[in-house]
Structure 1
Amino acid sequence: MTKLSVNINKIATLRNSRGGDLPNVVQFAKDVQRFGAEGVTIHPRPDERHIRYQDAYDLKPEVYTEYNIEGNPIPKFVDMVLEIKPTQVTLVPDSVDALTSNAGWDTIKNKDFLVEVIQEFKRNGIRTSIFVDPDLKQMEGAKETGTDRIELYTEAFAHQYGLGNKEAIQPYVACAELSNKLGLGVNAGHDLSLDNIHYFKENIPGLLEVSIGHALVSESLYLGVENVIQMYLQRLK
């Protein structure tokens, strides 16, 4: 079964919009785990416009499933991850002003940098993953960095699937097959939703984990968080 990790950034966005501590991100993380989610994902950014660095520390003792911290490995981020030691760190090449993640790593061009960062995390017992576009050369490049896993950037699939183009899954299938052969674990995330998650999961061999935030929180406004978690779990079986 593919694990569901819930990205709680949007809960922090809602909290920050009014100040104070409502909704409380730690309580939400505890709730989604209680409802069956197998992981919690956060993606702190330098301007802390949603998840704050302090949130990352506050969540550590409360996440008893898998704790996944995503972000661009700038020094402040690296130091935080090394202190918290989450289950997994997912490296994402965000620019400082990026609204959301919009591209994967060029694992060939950035090989030396990624090797250095990944070695440091792995020395500290932290599983590593690299956010990548569905390109076979990038899978091969990822293997050379020493990462444990790759996370397929699924925005293009989600967009095309919404237009009725199911063939958009093919590059992802090819990359997953190659990653499996290379010994890389396969994660996925970005714009996956209740509408497309079952089709994606059924076609991607060896899919270990999906990270879903924006769609899941939006769907929960209508259907309720507990219901939505259960719906995702059913589609991922």
Structure 2
Amino acid sequence: MPAKLSVNVNKVAVLRNSRGGRLPSVVAAATVAIQAGAAGITVHPRPDLRHIRPDDVRALKAMLPAGVEFNIEGNPFAPPNTRGYPGLLALAAETLPDQITLVPDSDDQITSDHGFSIKRDAGRLQPVIAAFKALGCRVSLFMDADSEEIADVAALGADRIEIYTGPYAEAFGRKDYGKALADCVAAGQAAAAAGLGVNAGHDLDTENLRVLARALPMLAEVSIGHALFNDALYAGLDQTVKQYLQALQH
């Protein structure tokens, strides 16, 4: 079975927020992606509301058809604020996503750029993982591909890891990706050996995705937004989603 594609619609919200108003619609974009064959929709609401907002999360939850997974990414330690961000746990309790992907991003990061340190964060992570799982959410932890702590994730109660593929994608662009791909493979194998599912995401496109999917037969899901919506500007969203699905047919 090829890995499932979850389309991250954050970029649609970035474009909408740059102008204000309701267009383009994240719900409409999600609808097109699902009709084209996407198995899931991903969002990453941030406390500064720079793209996906809590009301988008609620609207997407309300429209998703049965069988289409909802994945919410975020930092579980970012507190609620007066801008309207309720905190990741509260938002999950309200919308009950199929999967929560915990990411150690800070407010000043443009995008996620590193995974968790289990040695440093285990004490804080274990109770929040338990809280999300009590809601019925599958929990995935964002991890660096070269981390030596992949197997330790299982002891925290998480279900999956998401391999941070930014370094692999960057190396792929330089045509010097052998070590970076090997790191991803080692991470996938360590996760599988520990009984964890394997997701991947960050800077994946149709070219590097095809190679990654072929090298990671245990890959369960990829979440892709930036490159996918870049391609969709030229080929259209429906056709682009189908191209990414084809790239997963390794």
Please give the TM-score of this superposition, normalised by the length of structure 1.
0.98
Q: Secondary structure at the match of 1:109?
A: helix
Q: Given the alignment of the two structures, is residue 202 of structure 1 paired with residue 244 of structure 2, yes or no? A: no
Asked whether the 8 Å contact 2:207–2:247 carries over to 1, the reply is no
Asked whether the 8 Å contact 2:141–2:162 carries over to 1, the reply is yes
Q: Given the alignment of the two structures, is residue 180 of structure 1 paired with residue 183 of structure 2, yes or no? A: no
In structure 1, the partner of 2:182 is 170
The one-letter amino acid paired with 1:58 is A
Q: Given the alignment of the two structures, is residue 214 of structure 1 paired with residue 239 of structure 2, yes or no? A: no
2: CA distance, partners of 1:96 / 1:26: 25
Q: Given the alignment of the two structures, is residue 70 of structure 1 paired with residue 81 of structure 2, yes or no? A: no
2: CA distance, partners of 1:107 / 1:209: 22
CA RMSD of aligned residues (A): 1.0
In structure 2, the partner of 1:21 is 22
2: CA distance, partners of 1:38 / 1:82: 22
- After superposition, the C-alpha distances for 1:176-216 in whole angstroms (9 at most, x for unaligned) are 01111100000000000012110010001300000000000
Q: 1:139 Cα deviation (Å)?
A: 0.3
Q: Given the alignment of the two structures, is residue 32 of structure 1 paired with residue 33 of structure 2, yes or no? A: yes
Where in structure 2 are the equivalents of 1:94-173 lying within 5 Å?
Answer: 94-167=105-178, 168-173=180-185
Sequence identity of aligned pairs in percent?
46
The one-letter amino acid paired with 2:231 is E
1: CA distance, partners of 2:192 / 2:88: 29
The one-letter amino acid paired with 1:86 is P
Where in structure 2 are the equivalents of 1:84-103 lying within 5 Å?
Answer: 84-103=95-114
2: CA distance, partners of 1:152 / 1:115: 19
Q: 1:140 Cα deviation (Å)?
A: 2.1
Asked whether the 8 Å contact 2:96–2:137 carries over to 1, the reply is yes
Q: Secondary structure at the match of 2:41?
A: strand
Q: Secondary structure at the match of 1:40?
A: strand
2: CA distance, partners of 1:15 / 1:112: 38
- After superposition, the C-alpha distances for 1:101-140 in whole angstroms (9 at most, x for unaligned) are 0110111210011110000111111100000101342202
In structure 2, the partner of 1:83 is 94
Unaligned runs of 5+ in 1: none
Asked whether the 8 Å contact 2:126–2:157 carries over to 1, the reply is yes
2: CA distance, partners of 1:148 / 1:48: 28
For these two proteins, the number of residue pairs brought into alignment is: 237
